[in-house]
Amino acid sequence: MKKFLSERTLHLLILSFFLGLFLGISLSIRLSADEPAHRYLDYFHQVYNYIVTDYVETPENKKLFYGAIRGMIRALDDPYSRFLDEKDFRSFREDITGDFFGVGIEVTMKNGNMIVISPIEDSPAMKAGVLSGDIITKVDNISVKNKTVDDLVTMMRGKPNTAVRLEIKREGIDAPFEIELMRAKIHTKSVSFGIIEGQNAGYLRIKIFGDGTRREVENALNFFNNNHITLLIIDLRGNPGGKLDEAVAIADFFLEKGNLIVSTRGKKGTSQSQESRAQHDPLFRGRIAVLVNRGSASASEILAGALKDNRKAVLVGEQTFGKGSVQRLFELSEAVGITLTVARYYTPSGASIHGIGIEPNILVRSDIITEAERKEVHRLMAMKLLEEFTKEARAYNDEAKRKFTDLLRAKNISISERSAHYLLKRELGRFVRAPLYDLEFDAQLVRAIAVLNEP
């Protein structure tokens, strides 16, 4: 009896330690007004005690408690709240600082599918033609069904210069197809910018909101001001989000002092409910158009919504992704943590865009390939015509465009010249550094320039 009591005391101490470490609750368990939490914690202790004393093998405490925490967070049924063990925590830090080894794909779970939010700029995934909206079904012939986003990220990351094969389903293509990618160091540089040739317009692309993004944007805006640029296009297409405070600080560069940027509403009585307003006079006062698409999510939607609702910018493109929740990182130690959804955010008009997205002021589709051409394009890809053609033709010029169009006619591939040229340019882009912008095929950018030049 005495031995059992001492074991029970030890188990209670271990339980209290881990609960205090991971859940942040006091050792004197508080009672919920609706439901007594202590009853379920007692169940938890009993199960732990049975496992430790009666399970056929000696369990590892770390695995038991990590598994319990994962289960507890999974019960929230929120894909954005998750437990970060040592490996996941390192990956999370890499994402924020901007360097990791993998293929460069931002993914989320939607309707039971692993959806590509966007490929990261200059990553193996982008160069291989992975697109926003693609559904990843297998990694190295292993089904991702019933896997978590963390599982998928782990499967895709690995040592540099090692191969990984993805099976992808794409809207408009009947059968899944495979893409082989070589893992590489992924650097998620936040910002690129320049002056659009022949226009008094600046182009500012924000790819992710990470550490230091506000400083990069500030440098870009100072460059535009010094060059007397009065028209600005902010490209948020494919931007999966990132740090909320970076998006708020960047909105402050464009809005009048006191303008509402975003409001967050958390659980009643917490500090998560607050308003963020512009604290300074605008750094840039010219006309602005913001490019968005279904890959624009989270923090990018905060910036787009703030500029749209305050009538500071016109949004051009497609409806955004619709991730209107705020996650906070709770560091449980230097190597372990959790991300937890602590609030929903609302645009200045009071709208919640969670699961809905933001409608652009001007809808412009990005599709180059028409629905009628998709089967022909799939046949072209299956025949590896692009791959073979670009072994010889490495420059995108009039001669290459003519020869490729002739090749397609000879092979009875029925697509327009514009579609053929687009496919050729995209394929050749895999071998050179991508240009900052594309006025030949980017209909959304061309329309945004026209809008800014309207009287």
- Provide the annotated active-site residues: 298, 309, 323
Residue 333 CA: distances (Å) to CA of 23, 162, 242, 338, 434: 12, 32, 22, 10, 41
Q: In what order do the strands lie in the sheet with 287-292?
A: 191-195, 201-206, 231-235, 287-292, 313-317, 362-363
Distance from C-alpha of 15 to C-alpha of 131, rounded to nearest angstrom? 46
Report CA-CA distances (Å) from 306 to 162, 177, 256. 42, 39, 11
Rounded Cα gap, residues 261 and 251, in angstroms: 7
